[in-house]
């Protein structure tokens, strides 16, 4: 995954669940499918991050696996703090 894919994964890790939850139960709305696609990109990024960890690429592991997993929690916590 290149740098653009990592950026989409980071953005998608926050926006994907929001798109899906904003239209929860309404499968005719396009935001549901946009959110599902973003979540799919995040899952592929996590898979690539695990591969990077097996190849001892720590930077790739952090960028592709840890950040997409932690970023939604950081956004939620900062939303409630500020």
**pLDDT classification of 24: cutoffs 50, 70, 90:** confident
Dump the DSSP string for 13-81: HHHHHHHHHHTTT-TTSHHHHHHHHHHHHHHHHHHHHHHHHHTT-HHHHIIIIIHHHHHHHHHHHHHHH
pLDDT at 41 (0 to 100)? 94
pLDDT at 82 (0 to 100)? 81
The residue among 58 and 25 whose pLDDT is bigger is 58
**pLDDT classification of 26: cutoffs 50, 70, 90:** confident
Split into its structural domains, the chain has a count of 1
Specify the pTM. Answer: 0.87
Show the domain range for 27.
Answer: 3-81
């Amino acid at each position: 995954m290149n740098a653009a894919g990592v950026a989409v994964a980071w953005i998608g890790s926050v926006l994907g669940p929001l798109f899906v939850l904003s239209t929860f139960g309404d499968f005719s709305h396009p935001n549901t499918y946009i959110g599902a696609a973003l979540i799919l990109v995040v899952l592929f990024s996590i898979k690539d991050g695990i591969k990077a960890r097996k190849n001892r690429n720590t930077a790739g592991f952090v960028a592709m696996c840890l950040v997409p997993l932690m970023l939604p929690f950081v956004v939620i916590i900062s939303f409630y703090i500020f």
